[in-house]
Amino acid sequence: MAKPRVFVTRELPGDALKRVGEYYDVVVWDKYQAPSYEKLLEEAKRSDALVTLLTDRVDCNLIESSPRLRIIAQYAVGYDNIDIGCATRHGVYVTNTPGVLTEATADLTWALILAAARRIVEADRFVRSGEWYKTGTGWHPTMMLGIEVNGKTLGIIGMGRIGRAVARRAKGFNMRILYYDVRRLSEDEEKELGAEYAPLERLLAESDIVTIHTPLTPETEGLMNRERIRMMKKGAILVNTARGRIVDLDALVEALKEGHLAAAALDVFPQEPLPPDHPITKLDNVVLTPHIGSATWETRTKMADLVADNLIAFYKGEVPPTLVNKEVVKVRKPGFS
């Protein structure tokens, strides 16, 4: 039997794809930019497997146009770019990369919390631009004052793996932790994390820092709309490392301009890359990063390894270790035979 063909939409770090090559004919899109939808469609039609990123739109049209396609191995934990229901109906397996990026994303979240609270990026600009030098004083009692994190209330929206890893780190800052999720943790888990469940309204009203860790779904899209941003405490900080479309960015800009919120830190945006003339880029009290939650050498290599594990297990007729659409096994057995 000829090797099944896998189209990989970008080069991945590490040598995971070499391992995949023992089982698959691996075709890698070697440009820095994503393939266009048309290009992806053309490749998918000729492929038995795809490795996709969150920037690749895998809709029902693409799935239905690709009769050979059996597995989509997403190089991300989120998979809102893929029509999962359609994939399941057509017996196409979808896998993701949970777990391996939890700690890196929690670290970035904390980097953003501290950067926003202590105005790190603004302070860096202050030094480089010569503004500090112009003040003619090395130290002043009211220079670059920020917000103390220690002892404050942290509100975590979405208490999955990443939300919990953020909570664990908050212990070191002696924080009170409120969380909201559609699923409540067990009492033991709550106790271990020192986290208290709160309805969203109360979480927003009582938290000094609110951080988002939910997937993007129809329920979470626009969750932080104008009204809910208004429910946040005056002078609070909003951090988003999840998905851009969970927050109404225009409403956030307004709240920051009016001083309702003290600061915000965003790693994700409704449109990526974020256009540099977007009003949010004009504000001093925001920290902006280009969707780098999982961006460490270690994590991105582990994500590639997990993609390889999923593809190889599937090839061997086994259920892939991190299958998203578990019901698909009732539609078709794993493997290419």
Catalytic site residues?
243, 272, 291
How far apart CA 75 and CA 305 sit, in angstroms, is 10
Q: What are the phi and psi torsion angles at 125 (to 5°)?
A: -60, -35
Taking the chain, what is the end-to-end CA distance rounded to the nearest angstrom?
9
Q: Which is nearer to ligand GLV, 44 or 165 (CB)?
A: 165
Least distance in Å: CB of 179 to ligand GLV? 12
How far apart CA 218 and CA 182 sit, in angstroms, is 13
Is position 102 an interface residue for ligand GLV (rule: CB under 6 A)?
Answer: yes
Using CB under 6 A, count the residues that bind ligand GLV: 14
Stretch that binds ligand GLV, among 73-81, 171-179, 225-233, 280-288 (CB under 6 A): 73-81
Residue 264's beta-bridge partner residues? 238, 286
Q: Which is nearer to ligand GLV, 47 or 52 (CB)?
A: 52
How far apart CA 7 and CA 24 sit, in angstroms, is 10
Q: Tell me which residues in 213-232 interact with ligand GLV (CB under 6 A).
A: 213
- The binding track of 161-190 with respect to ligand GLV, each residue x by CB under 6 A or -, is xxx---------------------------
Is position 77 an interface residue for ligand GLV (rule: CB under 6 A)?
Answer: yes
216 neighbors 80 (Cβ within 8 angstroms): yes
Is position 247 an interface residue for ligand GLV (rule: CB under 6 A)?
Answer: no
How far apart CA 308 and CA 317 sit, in angstroms, is 14
Q: What are the phi and psi torsion angles at 256 (to 5°)?
A: -75, -40
How far apart CA 241 and CA 294 sit, in angstroms, is 10
Least distance in Å: CB of 250 to ligand GLV? 22
Least distance in Å: CB of 43 to ligand GLV? 22
The residues of the shown chain that bind ligand GLV, judged by CB under 6 A, are 54, 76-78, 98, 101-102, 160-163, 213, 293-294
